[in-house]
C-alpha cells in the first residue's frame, strides 16, 4: 500500500510513511531541513506553487537569473523554474477554469 501526503513535516507522526509529499517549494521557499528529511526517508518531493516567484512575487532577486537561463536555453521562465526545482514532481496551475 502506498500513500501520498500534503505538507508532511518532520514533526508529523503517521502510521504509514508517504511515498510522495506535496509541499510549497520554489527558490524563495526551499525548506532544506524538510528536503533532507524527505530524501533520507526516500520520500519524493512534489513541488506545489513552483511559479510563485514569477506570479506572486515579481521583481524579486531570482527574476534576472531565471530570465538569463531562459534566454540561454531557449525556454520560458516558467519552464526554467519548474525544471530547476531539483525535486521529483512539480504541480502547476491551469490558466483556464474550464473543466478538463
Report domain extents, the chain: 4-91
Q: Cell numbers 520554489 correspond to what residue? A: 26
Q: Cell numbers 519552464 correspond to what residue? A: 79
Q: What is the pTM of this model?
A: 0.67
Q: How do residues 11-48 score in pLDDT, each as one tens digit?
A: 666 677 888 888 888 888 888 898 898 889 888 888 87
Q: How many helices (H) and strands (E) does the chain have?
A: 4, 4
d(CA 89, CA 68): 23
Per-residue pLDDT band at 87 (split at 50, 70, 90): low
C-alpha torsion sign, points 14, 16, 17, 20: negative
d(CA 14, CA 33): 18
Nearest to 4 by CA among 16, 15, 19, 14: 19
Amino acid at each position: 500500500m502506498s500513500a501520498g501526503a500534503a505538507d508532511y513535516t518532520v514533526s508529523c507522526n503517521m502510521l504509514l510513511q508517504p511515498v510522495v509529499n506535496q509541499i510549497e517549494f520554489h527558490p524563495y521557499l526551499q525548506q532544506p531541513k524538510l528536503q533532507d528529511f524527505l530524501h533520507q526517508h526516500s520520500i519524493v518531493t512534489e513541488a506545489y506553487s513552483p511559479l510563485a516567484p514569477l506570479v506572486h512575487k515579481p521583481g524579486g532577486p531570482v527574476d534576472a537569473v531565471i530570465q538569463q537561463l531562459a534566454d540561454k536555453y531557449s525556454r520560458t521562465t516558467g519552464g526554467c523554474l519548474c525544471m530547476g526545482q531539483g525535486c521529483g514532481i512539480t504541480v502547476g496551475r491551469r490558466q483556464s477554469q474550464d473543466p478538463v
